[in-house]
Amino acid sequence: MSNCYGIDMGTNNLKIFSNNSKSVLNVKNTIAIVDNDKMYAYGDEAYSMYEKTPESIQVSFPIVSGVIADFDNMQTMLFEVLENKVKAKLKGADIVVCVPTDITEVEKKAFYDMFIKSKQRPHSVMLCEKPLADALGMGLDITEPTGIMVVDFGGDTTEISVISLGGLVLTELCPFGGNQLDDSIVTYMRRKYNLMIGRKTACQLKEQIGSAMPGRKDSLVIVGRDVVSGLPIEMEVNSSMVYEGIRGDLTNLCNSIKITLEKVPPELARDIVSSGIYLTGGSAQIHQLAELFTEVTNIKVNISEHANETSVLGLDKVLTDSKYKKFGYEMKARIFK
């Protein structure tokens, strides 16, 4: 099985694993539209235009809160990336797509229809629950009678799941992710320092000098607009300022993890305490986030080595390993007649 592809359409990043090249393509899940319906740019190029375009060009993110918000543009971009960047031969291919667990069947079907209702004719299209793909991508055997807790901290959502015997014992999709941290930094800088900054600048602050715990000493010079004078100004922002901006959001996330842990059956809780919590997702790389979760839960936290690509690496196992093939499933079309 060489002509097969694992696809994770994340809020911020589109990840595609090709079994031909054994590599992951990771591009920004962003599209720039001109004249309302013509694709002007996509991927990293479109993201570089974000918050910089004239009125004639709209830059948008087709995935919102883990679900497809703009089907046509997402499909256009996806096939453009597959054909031109991955060099995929989709006719007769086997495809498995990652989906969040806690969304409706209709929302899941949109991911399935992306390929089934296209001009390309893949051999098969399967869906796989994201927490299962995450666990497989971290090298965990999810078929064992052992409790595994996975926290996927993404762009718009955080999925907290407990897995045992290949099934989801508990799962909670929190409407909160790295984008909300960016918004909080924007709000904090405006309220506290009368400085207007864009979300891209806030994301840069979060990634380069942000921390989930106090004490980091780094700083970064940014340019924003002074709310009082209306003029652009330079300002040096330090880590403690960024921490104050995101502290409340991180506290809410910790509370969600604690609430989920309180629902875990005792025998599975023992396994989780023994093996630790597994942390993945694009936003999991915030400095000292694992230490914060450990402080709150008293359980060690294991961060995925490839946090931004864990799920799509797990999809490769669903496609190629007979032991895990059962975790990919087809939608039953008859339900939607």
Q: Beta partners for 171?
A: 161
Under a CB-based contact definition with an 8 Å cutoff, are residues 51 and 223 in contact? Answer: no
Instruction: Identify each DSSP E strand in the chain by its residue range.
Output: 4-9, 13-18, 23-28, 31-34, 38-42, 57-60, 63-64, 67-68, 94-99, 124-129, 148-153, 158-164, 167-174, 195-196, 219-226, 232-238, 277-280, 301-303
How far apart (Å, rounded) are the C-alpha atoms in residues 231 and 317? 53
Task: Starting at the earlier edge strand, list the strands of the sheet with 31-34.
Answer: 38-42, 31-34, 57-60
What does the DSSP 8-state code read for residue 153? Answer: E
pLDDT for the residue numbered 332: 66
**Tokens encoding 41:** 């740019």
Q: Mind listing the domains of the chain with CATH numbers?
A: 4-133+311-336 (3.30.420.40), 142-176+249-308 (3.30.420.40), 178-246 (3.90.640.10)
pLDDT for the residue numbered 199: 95
Does residue 335 sit in helix, strand or coil? Answer: helix
Under a CB-based contact definition with an 8 Å cutoff, are residues 133 and 98 in contact? Answer: yes
How far apart (Å, rounded) are the C-alpha atoms in residues 125 and 112? 7
pLDDT for the residue numbered 37: 81
Does residue 57 sit in helix, strand or coil? Answer: strand
| Distances in whole angstroms, Cα of residue 43 to Cα of each of 6, 22, 31, 222, 306 | 18, 21, 6, 25, 20
Number of Cβ atoms within 10 Å of the Cβ of 255: 12
**Tokens encoding 303:** 């961060």
**Tokens encoding 32:** 């720039």
**Tokens encoding 318:** 């669903």
Sign of the CA dihedral 27, 60, 42, 184?
A: negative
How far apart (Å, rounded) are the C-alpha atoms in residues 160 and 151? 5
Q: Given the DSSP bridges, would you call strands 94-99 and 63-64 parallel, antiparallel or unpaired?
A: unpaired
Mean per-residue pLDDT pooled into runs of 10, the chain (337 residues): 88 94 94 90 95 93 94 94 92 94 92 90 93 97 95 95 95 92 97 96 97 96 96 97 97 95 96 97 94 96 94 94 93 49
Q: At what angle do helices 178-193 and 239-263 cross, to 10 degrees?
A: 140
How far apart (Å, rounded) are the C-alpha atoms in residues 289 and 229? 37
